[in-house]
Chains A and B, each alone.
Chain A
Amino acid sequence: MNPHERPSDVETTLRRLVSSDGTAAERVLAGAWSRSNLHRRRLVPWVWAGAAVVAAAIAVGAWYWPIPAAQPARLTITGNPAAVIVENRDGRRWVVTPRSEGVAQGSVVIVIGR
């Protein structure tokens, strides 16, 4: 075996010097678990709080959102007392005239000769 593939004396000394007692490792581990659990516990309420705020904002927005009122029909009225013409924007037209006195219904036949 190549002597340079074996740990040197310096490495062996270093390993001995830096090897910690069990208490330090336990302390670090306990701290890490506690911090990660704390982070988790802190995160969950924030997620729920965020979701509640978003839901409330949507509800308030929906409640106060201005609903466009149905536009009234625009009518143009022209004419004279004998006949009033009401015209809608879409082009439909109504002619309003006073009620006629009645259609003459006689029994007369007009014959026009050639």
Chain B
Amino acid sequence: MDLEAVAAAVTPRLLAYLTARTGCPSLAEDVAQDALVALIQHWRRRGPPDSPDAFVFAIAKRRAGRALARRALLAPIDTLLGWRHAGPGIDAALEHRQTLDAVLRELRRLSRREREVLLLSAAGELRIADIASVVGATPAAVKMRLSRARRRLLSLHQDTSHEPARTAE
């Protein structure tokens, strides 16, 4: 295994997962970079991990959780002091952003465990075995959670699409 090739292959998937996890592309880039630095340093010191994907995603998941908590804690202070600033090209990204928010809102209706495996599978494109390693569950449990999450999403979607009809009645 070649470190450069592995890092290059995992980075786009890692970014996609972290964007879905945090809902913020710039935060996703910061956390992805941290996770990649950890992978590179581990590889140089102790050799390649058993599954580089699982290794880097586990670190990314942990750090994303911390970054989100920190952001939630500091957000009121940022707003108060006027530190929050709009990113470049925000108008152009508005529609994309709104669609992403709508999808993430839909995913937030799932339980935390179901949402996690769904994000790792859909955005991170991880294999079941790697997802199991990241979330600390058995592959069978991961398969079950994934299936349950999809079933639940479908039913939620059907409920939402039927709502206007009920309202009209």
Using CB atoms and an 8 Å cutoff, list the residues of chain A in contact with chain B: 2, 4-15, 17-20, 22, 24-25, 27-29, 31-33, 35-36, 39-40
Contact = CB atoms under 8 A, between A and B. Distances in A.
Nearest to B151: A4
A42 B119 CA distance: 37
Interface in B45-101: 96, 99-100
Interface residues of B, number: 38
Given A4-B154, A5-B147, 16 more contacts: A4-B147, A4-B150, A8-B150, A11-B150, A13-B103, A17-B96, A17-B100, A17-B103, A20-B12, A24-B29, A25-B8, A27-B29, A29-B7, A33-B7, A39-B37, A40-B44
23 contacts: A7-B121, A7-B150, A9-B157, A11-B118, A11-B121, A14-B20, A14-B103, A14-B104, A15-B122, A15-B123, A15-B125, A18-B17, A18-B100, A18-B123, A19-B12, A20-B12, A20-B16, A24-B15, A25-B15, A33-B7, A36-B40, A36-B44, A39-B41
B153 A8 contact: yes
Given A13-B99, A33-B40, A20 B19 contact: yes
Contacts of B154: 4, 8
A19 B16 contact: yes
Interface of B: 7-8, 11-12, 15-17, 19-20, 25, 29, 32-33, 36-37, 40-41, 44, 96, 99-100, 103-104, 106-107, 118-119, 121-123, 125, 147-148, 150-151, 153-154, 157
Contact of A10 (B29, B107, B125): B107
Nearest to B156: A10
A31 B99 CA distance: 29
B33 A31 contact: yes
Contacts of B118: 11
B107 A14 contact: yes
Closest 7 CB pairs of A and B: A32-B36, A11-B122, A36-B40, A18-B16, A18-B19, A4-B147, A4-B150
> Which of B12, B151, B153 has its CB near the most chain A CB atoms (within 10 A)?
B12
